[in-house]
Homo-oligomer: A and B are copies of this chain.
Amino acid sequence: MADGAQAAADVKNNWGRCGDDDERGTLNLLPPEVVKAAAASIRTGRTYPLGIPIQAEGVPLLDYRGKPMRLTLEDLTDDGSYADFGCKPGTGAHEDVMIFASHTTSHMDALIHVYEDYLHYNNVPAAAMRAMPGATRLGIEKVAGFAARAVLLDLVRFFDDGPWVEPGRILTAADLQGAAEAEGVEVRAGDVVLVRTGYLDMWFERQPNVPFEQAGIGFDAAHWLADLDIVAVGCDNAAVEAIPFDENDFLGVHKVLLVRHGIYMLEFLDLSAPAADGCYEGLLSVAPLKVTGATGSPINPILVG
Protein backbone atom coordinates (compact mmCIF):
# COMPACT_ATOMS: atom_id res chain seq x y z
CA MET A 1 0.00 0.00 0.00
CA ALA A 2 1.31 3.41 -0.91
CA ASP A 3 3.23 5.09 1.86
CA GLY A 4 1.38 7.85 3.66
CA ALA A 5 -2.00 6.93 2.25
CA GLN A 6 -4.89 6.28 4.59
CA ALA A 7 -6.07 2.77 3.99
CA ALA A 8 -9.65 2.75 2.73
CA ALA A 9 -10.00 -0.69 4.25
CA ASP A 10 -9.38 0.64 7.74
CA VAL A 11 -11.83 3.54 7.90
CA LYS A 12 -15.58 3.59 8.30
CA ASN A 13 -17.07 1.98 5.22
CA ASN A 14 -19.77 -0.29 3.85
CA TRP A 15 -17.41 -3.00 2.67
CA GLY A 16 -18.74 -6.45 3.35
CA ARG A 17 -22.01 -5.02 4.64
CA CYS A 18 -23.97 -6.51 1.75
CA GLY A 19 -21.72 -9.50 1.17
CA ASP A 20 -18.10 -9.82 0.18
CA ASP A 21 -19.08 -10.20 -3.47
CA ASP A 22 -21.49 -7.32 -3.60
CA GLU A 23 -21.14 -5.05 -6.62
CA ARG A 24 -24.15 -2.75 -6.16
CA GLY A 25 -23.34 -0.83 -2.99
CA THR A 26 -26.14 1.19 -1.46
CA LEU A 27 -28.63 -0.02 -4.04
CA ASN A 28 -28.94 -3.01 -1.73
CA LEU A 29 -30.33 -0.65 0.86
CA LEU A 30 -33.30 0.25 -1.31
CA PRO A 31 -36.00 -2.40 -0.80
CA PRO A 32 -39.21 -2.25 -2.87
CA GLU A 33 -41.23 -0.97 0.06
CA VAL A 34 -38.97 2.07 0.32
CA VAL A 35 -39.44 2.72 -3.39
CA LYS A 36 -43.19 2.32 -2.98
CA ALA A 37 -43.13 4.78 -0.10
CA ALA A 38 -41.08 7.15 -2.26
CA ALA A 39 -43.92 7.26 -4.77
CA ALA A 40 -45.97 8.99 -2.11
CA SER A 41 -43.67 12.00 -2.45
CA ILE A 42 -45.20 12.73 -5.85
CA ARG A 43 -47.43 15.78 -5.42
CA THR A 44 -48.03 17.42 -8.79
CA GLY A 45 -46.93 14.90 -11.37
CA ARG A 46 -44.68 17.51 -12.97
CA THR A 47 -41.80 15.76 -14.66
CA TYR A 48 -38.24 17.10 -14.78
CA PRO A 49 -35.63 15.47 -17.01
CA LEU A 50 -32.42 16.48 -15.24
CA GLY A 51 -29.94 15.75 -18.06
CA ILE A 52 -28.35 18.54 -20.06
CA PRO A 53 -27.71 18.16 -23.79
CA ILE A 54 -24.85 16.12 -25.23
CA GLN A 55 -23.22 18.19 -27.96
CA ALA A 56 -19.80 19.45 -28.99
CA GLU A 57 -20.27 23.09 -27.99
CA GLY A 58 -22.18 25.10 -25.43
CA VAL A 59 -22.12 22.59 -22.58
CA PRO A 60 -19.44 21.95 -19.97
CA LEU A 61 -16.88 19.46 -21.30
CA LEU A 62 -13.47 18.48 -20.00
CA ASP A 63 -10.77 18.54 -22.69
CA TYR A 64 -9.31 15.13 -21.98
CA ARG A 65 -12.70 13.50 -22.52
CA GLY A 66 -12.89 14.67 -26.12
CA LYS A 67 -15.88 16.25 -27.83
CA PRO A 68 -19.13 14.32 -28.26
CA MET A 69 -19.95 13.49 -31.88
CA ARG A 70 -23.24 12.63 -33.53
CA LEU A 71 -22.62 11.25 -36.98
CA THR A 72 -25.11 10.37 -39.65
CA LEU A 73 -25.59 6.70 -40.39
CA GLU A 74 -28.63 6.86 -42.66
CA ASP A 75 -30.42 9.80 -44.22
CA LEU A 76 -32.37 11.01 -47.21
CA THR A 77 -29.48 10.18 -49.54
CA ASP A 78 -30.30 6.53 -48.84
CA ASP A 79 -33.82 7.00 -50.18
CA GLY A 80 -34.86 3.99 -52.18
CA SER A 81 -32.51 1.53 -50.50
CA TYR A 82 -35.39 -0.62 -49.30
CA ALA A 83 -37.57 -0.63 -52.42
CA ASP A 84 -37.00 -4.36 -52.80
CA PHE A 85 -38.29 -4.95 -49.29
CA GLY A 86 -41.74 -3.46 -49.81
CA CYS A 87 -40.75 0.09 -49.04
CA LYS A 88 -43.11 2.57 -50.69
CA PRO A 89 -41.62 5.55 -52.50
CA GLY A 90 -41.14 8.43 -50.08
CA THR A 91 -40.76 6.22 -47.01
CA GLY A 92 -37.42 6.09 -45.24
CA ALA A 93 -35.52 6.41 -41.99
CA HIS A 94 -32.82 8.54 -40.42
CA GLU A 95 -30.26 7.12 -38.00
CA ASP A 96 -27.02 8.21 -36.31
CA VAL A 97 -23.99 6.94 -34.46
CA MET A 98 -22.92 8.59 -31.21
CA ILE A 99 -19.45 8.92 -29.72
CA PHE A 100 -18.92 10.33 -26.25
CA ALA A 101 -17.14 9.80 -22.97
CA SER A 102 -18.77 7.70 -20.29
CA HIS A 103 -18.55 10.77 -18.07
CA THR A 104 -19.81 13.33 -20.57
CA THR A 105 -22.17 16.12 -19.44
CA SER A 106 -24.85 14.70 -17.09
CA HIS A 107 -23.51 11.35 -15.95
CA MET A 108 -23.32 8.72 -13.26
CA ASP A 109 -20.16 7.17 -11.84
CA ALA A 110 -20.00 3.39 -11.64
CA LEU A 111 -18.41 1.98 -8.48
CA ILE A 112 -15.37 1.11 -10.61
CA HIS A 113 -14.79 4.80 -11.39
CA VAL A 114 -12.53 5.84 -8.48
CA TYR A 115 -10.06 3.91 -6.33
CA GLU A 116 -8.22 4.71 -3.10
CA ASP A 117 -5.11 2.86 -2.00
CA TYR A 118 -5.60 0.94 -5.26
CA LEU A 119 -8.92 -0.39 -3.99
CA HIS A 120 -12.48 0.21 -5.05
CA TYR A 121 -15.66 -0.26 -3.06
CA ASN A 122 -15.87 -3.59 -1.29
CA ASN A 123 -12.16 -4.32 -1.51
CA VAL A 124 -12.16 -4.72 -5.29
CA PRO A 125 -8.66 -4.07 -6.62
CA ALA A 126 -8.03 -1.27 -9.10
CA ALA A 127 -6.79 -3.96 -11.48
CA ALA A 128 -10.38 -5.19 -11.85
CA MET A 129 -10.56 -2.56 -14.58
CA ARG A 130 -8.68 -3.67 -17.68
CA ALA A 131 -8.35 -1.82 -20.95
CA MET A 132 -9.71 -4.56 -23.19
CA PRO A 133 -12.74 -5.94 -21.36
CA GLY A 134 -13.28 -2.83 -19.24
CA ALA A 135 -14.59 -3.26 -15.73
CA THR A 136 -14.63 -6.92 -14.83
CA ARG A 137 -16.38 -5.97 -11.58
CA LEU A 138 -18.40 -2.96 -10.39
CA GLY A 139 -19.14 -1.85 -13.97
CA ILE A 140 -22.09 0.41 -14.73
CA GLU A 141 -24.13 -2.58 -15.94
CA LYS A 142 -24.28 -3.79 -12.34
CA VAL A 143 -26.31 -0.70 -11.44
CA ALA A 144 -28.90 -1.65 -14.04
CA GLY A 145 -31.08 1.28 -13.01
CA PHE A 146 -33.15 2.35 -10.04
CA ALA A 147 -35.87 4.62 -8.71
CA ALA A 148 -35.80 6.29 -5.31
CA ARG A 149 -37.12 9.24 -3.37
CA ALA A 150 -35.19 12.38 -4.21
CA VAL A 151 -34.71 15.37 -1.97
CA LEU A 152 -33.52 18.56 -3.60
CA LEU A 153 -31.43 20.80 -1.35
CA ASP A 154 -31.26 24.22 -2.96
CA LEU A 155 -28.18 25.88 -1.50
CA VAL A 156 -28.58 28.87 -3.76
CA ARG A 157 -31.94 29.62 -2.17
CA PHE A 158 -30.68 28.79 1.30
CA PHE A 159 -27.67 31.09 1.16
CA ASP A 160 -29.71 33.74 -0.66
CA ASP A 161 -26.54 35.43 -1.84
CA GLY A 162 -26.84 35.70 -5.60
CA PRO A 163 -27.74 33.37 -8.46
CA TRP A 164 -25.14 30.76 -7.52
CA VAL A 165 -23.10 29.69 -4.53
CA GLU A 166 -19.68 31.31 -4.46
CA PRO A 167 -17.27 29.23 -6.61
CA GLY A 168 -14.99 27.09 -4.45
CA ARG A 169 -17.20 27.18 -1.36
CA ILE A 170 -17.09 23.91 0.55
CA LEU A 171 -20.58 22.93 1.62
CA THR A 172 -20.88 21.43 5.11
CA ALA A 173 -23.34 19.10 6.76
CA ALA A 174 -24.78 22.13 8.51
CA ASP A 175 -25.34 23.81 5.15
CA LEU A 176 -27.21 20.81 3.80
CA GLN A 177 -29.21 20.42 7.00
CA GLY A 178 -30.03 24.11 6.96
CA ALA A 179 -31.31 23.92 3.43
CA ALA A 180 -33.39 20.85 4.25
CA GLU A 181 -34.93 22.56 7.24
CA ALA A 182 -35.67 25.73 5.31
CA GLU A 183 -37.45 23.62 2.70
CA GLY A 184 -39.26 21.51 5.27
CA VAL A 185 -37.87 18.25 3.95
CA GLU A 186 -35.98 15.48 5.64
CA VAL A 187 -33.22 13.28 4.23
CA ARG A 188 -33.87 9.58 4.82
CA ALA A 189 -32.17 6.27 4.20
CA GLY A 190 -32.62 5.19 0.58
CA ASP A 191 -32.82 8.76 -0.73
CA VAL A 192 -31.03 10.42 -3.59
CA VAL A 193 -29.86 13.80 -2.34
CA LEU A 194 -29.75 16.47 -5.02
CA VAL A 195 -27.55 19.42 -4.16
CA ARG A 196 -28.03 22.62 -6.12
CA THR A 197 -25.11 25.06 -6.16
CA GLY A 198 -26.08 27.05 -9.23
CA TYR A 199 -22.86 25.99 -10.97
CA LEU A 200 -24.60 25.11 -14.24
CA ASP A 201 -26.47 28.42 -14.22
CA MET A 202 -23.12 30.16 -13.82
CA TRP A 203 -21.56 28.04 -16.54
CA PHE A 204 -24.25 28.79 -19.08
CA GLU A 205 -24.17 32.49 -18.25
CA ARG A 206 -20.41 32.95 -18.15
CA GLN A 207 -19.17 30.49 -20.77
CA PRO A 208 -16.63 30.22 -22.19
CA ASN A 209 -14.92 32.09 -19.33
CA VAL A 210 -15.97 29.94 -16.43
CA PRO A 211 -13.83 29.97 -13.28
CA PHE A 212 -12.12 26.71 -12.42
CA GLU A 213 -13.43 26.76 -8.87
CA GLN A 214 -16.77 25.21 -8.06
CA ALA A 215 -18.89 25.05 -4.95
CA GLY A 216 -19.56 21.51 -3.78
CA ILE A 217 -19.66 19.32 -0.74
CA GLY A 218 -16.65 18.63 1.48
CA PHE A 219 -15.69 15.85 3.86
CA ASP A 220 -18.00 16.97 6.62
CA ALA A 221 -21.07 16.84 4.37
CA ALA A 222 -19.91 13.59 2.78
CA HIS A 223 -19.63 11.86 6.14
CA TRP A 224 -23.04 13.16 7.19
CA LEU A 225 -24.61 11.86 3.99
CA ALA A 226 -22.84 8.51 4.27
CA ASP A 227 -24.12 8.07 7.83
CA LEU A 228 -27.67 8.54 6.57
CA ASP A 229 -27.45 5.53 4.23
CA ILE A 230 -28.50 7.45 1.20
CA VAL A 231 -28.28 5.78 -2.19
CA ALA A 232 -26.80 8.56 -4.29
CA VAL A 233 -25.83 12.21 -4.36
CA GLY A 234 -26.50 14.32 -7.41
CA CYS A 235 -25.23 17.79 -8.06
CA ASP A 236 -25.25 20.48 -10.72
CA ASN A 237 -21.46 20.69 -10.80
CA ALA A 238 -18.66 18.58 -12.31
CA ALA A 239 -17.74 16.39 -9.36
CA VAL A 240 -20.32 16.78 -6.57
CA GLU A 241 -17.40 17.86 -4.40
CA ALA A 242 -15.92 21.33 -4.20
CA ILE A 243 -12.94 22.31 -6.34
CA PRO A 244 -10.32 23.01 -5.07
CA PHE A 245 -10.85 19.75 -3.25
CA ASP A 246 -11.48 19.76 0.49
CA GLU A 247 -8.14 19.49 2.31
CA ASN A 248 -6.59 19.54 -1.17
CA ASP A 249 -7.27 15.80 -1.33
CA PHE A 250 -7.89 14.96 -4.99
CA LEU A 251 -11.28 13.25 -5.36
CA GLY A 252 -11.48 13.06 -1.56
CA VAL A 253 -15.28 13.11 -1.42
CA HIS A 254 -15.46 10.47 -4.16
CA LYS A 255 -13.34 8.28 -1.92
CA VAL A 256 -15.68 8.73 1.05
CA LEU A 257 -18.90 8.24 -0.89
CA LEU A 258 -18.13 6.04 -3.88
CA VAL A 259 -15.17 3.98 -2.67
CA ARG A 260 -15.87 3.52 1.02
CA HIS A 261 -19.67 3.55 1.06
CA GLY A 262 -20.81 2.48 -2.38
CA ILE A 263 -22.90 5.64 -2.66
CA TYR A 264 -23.42 6.66 -6.28
CA MET A 265 -22.54 10.07 -7.62
CA LEU A 266 -24.50 11.91 -10.32
CA GLU A 267 -22.89 14.94 -11.88
CA PHE A 268 -23.84 17.92 -14.04
CA LEU A 269 -27.55 17.52 -13.29
CA ASP A 270 -29.74 20.45 -14.22
CA LEU A 271 -31.65 21.20 -11.03
CA SER A 272 -32.87 24.67 -11.89
CA ALA A 273 -36.34 23.71 -13.13
CA PRO A 274 -37.52 21.85 -10.02
CA ALA A 275 -35.84 24.49 -7.86
CA ALA A 276 -37.75 27.22 -9.67
CA ASP A 277 -40.98 25.34 -8.96
CA GLY A 278 -40.09 24.82 -5.33
CA CYS A 279 -40.24 21.10 -5.91
CA TYR A 280 -38.01 19.63 -3.19
CA GLU A 281 -39.23 16.06 -3.17
CA GLY A 282 -40.18 13.48 -5.75
CA LEU A 283 -39.57 10.09 -7.27
CA LEU A 284 -36.33 9.97 -9.23
CA SER A 285 -35.53 7.35 -11.86
CA VAL A 286 -31.88 6.93 -12.77
CA ALA A 287 -31.18 4.88 -15.89
CA PRO A 288 -27.55 4.53 -16.94
CA LEU A 289 -27.00 2.76 -20.24
CA LYS A 290 -25.96 -0.79 -19.53
CA VAL A 291 -22.72 -0.59 -21.48
CA THR A 292 -20.97 -3.73 -20.34
CA GLY A 293 -17.73 -2.98 -18.55
CA ALA A 294 -18.15 0.79 -18.54
CA THR A 295 -17.02 3.03 -15.72
CA GLY A 296 -20.02 5.30 -15.89
CA SER A 297 -22.74 6.45 -18.24
CA PRO A 298 -24.41 9.63 -19.38
CA ILE A 299 -27.79 9.85 -17.70
CA ASN A 300 -30.94 11.89 -17.92
CA PRO A 301 -32.62 11.24 -14.57
CA ILE A 302 -36.38 11.73 -14.52
CA LEU A 303 -37.74 13.48 -11.44
CA VAL A 304 -41.50 13.25 -10.95
CA GLY A 305 -42.41 15.92 -8.41
Residues of A within 8 A of B (CB): 1-6, 31-39, 42-47, 49, 51-57, 63-78, 81-82, 85-103, 112-118, 126-127, 129-132, 134-135, 141, 144-147, 244-245, 248-251, 254-255, 283, 285-302, 304
Q: Which of B53, B89, B93, B141 contacts A53 (CB 8 A)?
A: B141
B102 touches A98 (CB 8 A): yes
Task: Give Cα A293 to B300, complex, Å.
Answer: 16
Is B102's CB under 8 angstroms from A39's CB?
no
On whether the beta carbons of B49 and A42 are closer than 8 Å, the reply is: no
A98/B99 in contact, CB under 8 A:
yes
Given contacts A5-B90, A90-B2, A95-B101, contact A145 B77 (CB under 8 A): no
Copies of this chain, count = 4
Q: How far is the CA of A45 from the CA of B148 in the complex (A)?
A: 9
Inter-chain contacts of A87 with B (CB < 8 A): 250-251
Contact across chains for A89 and B249 when beta carbons are under 8 A apart: no
Instruction: Tell me, rounded to whole Å, the shortest Cβ–Cβ distance linking A104 to chain B.
Output: 9
A37-B45, A145-B47 given as contacts; is B92 within 8 A of A102 (CB)? no
Note all chain B residues with C-beta closer than 8 A to A147: 47, 285, 302, 304
Kindly provide the distance from the CB of A34 to the nearest chain B CB, expressed in whole angstroms: 7
- Cα A112 to Cα B94 in complex, Å, equals 7
> Taking each of A2, A75, A94, A286, which has the highest tally of chain B beta carbons within 10 Å of its own beta carbon?
A94
